[in-house]
Amino acid sequence: MKRYNILIVEDDLMIGDLLKKILQREEYNVRWMKEGKDIIDIIHEIDLVIMDVMLPGDDGYQITKKVNSLGLNIPVIFLSARNDIESKLQGLTMGEDYMT
């Protein structure tokens, strides 16, 4: 059975560490980046991205635009503290889901 590769892009150490541990316990291969500046270098190996919106440097939306421009059809789930309707709509337009 294939072990899926999940990329977490999250700058909060506690959230990132917790997500990584939970997903590894479910036997996923997990990579964690605290910012998305090098995402293009590894994105071809990834099956799913869990993306924070508020990141240092490029925000999660800008990073997702870069990923989507490659045409790889890699699903992105946004995970963010931003719960305003505009943020949710933007995330749902660009990704598969938006969780607050």
Examine the pLDDT at 95 and tell me if it is beyond 80: yes
Q: Whole-angstrom Cα distance, residue 99 to residue 70?
A: 24
Model confidence, pTM: 0.93
Q: Give the start-to-end residue ranges of the domains of the chain.
A: 5-99
Mean pLDDT of 70-84: 94
Q: pLDDT tens for residues 3-48?
A: 999 999 999 999 999 999 999 999 999 999 999 989 999 999 999 9
CATH architecture of 5-99: 3-Layer(aba) Sandwich (3.40)
Please report, rounded to a whole number, the percentage of residues in the chain having pLDDT higher than 70: 99
Examine the pLDDT at 85 and tell me if it is beyond 90: yes
Residues 6+ apart with CB under 8 A from 11: 34, 35, 52, 54, 55, 56
Would the CA dihedral through 92, 46, 41, 44 be positive or negative?
negative
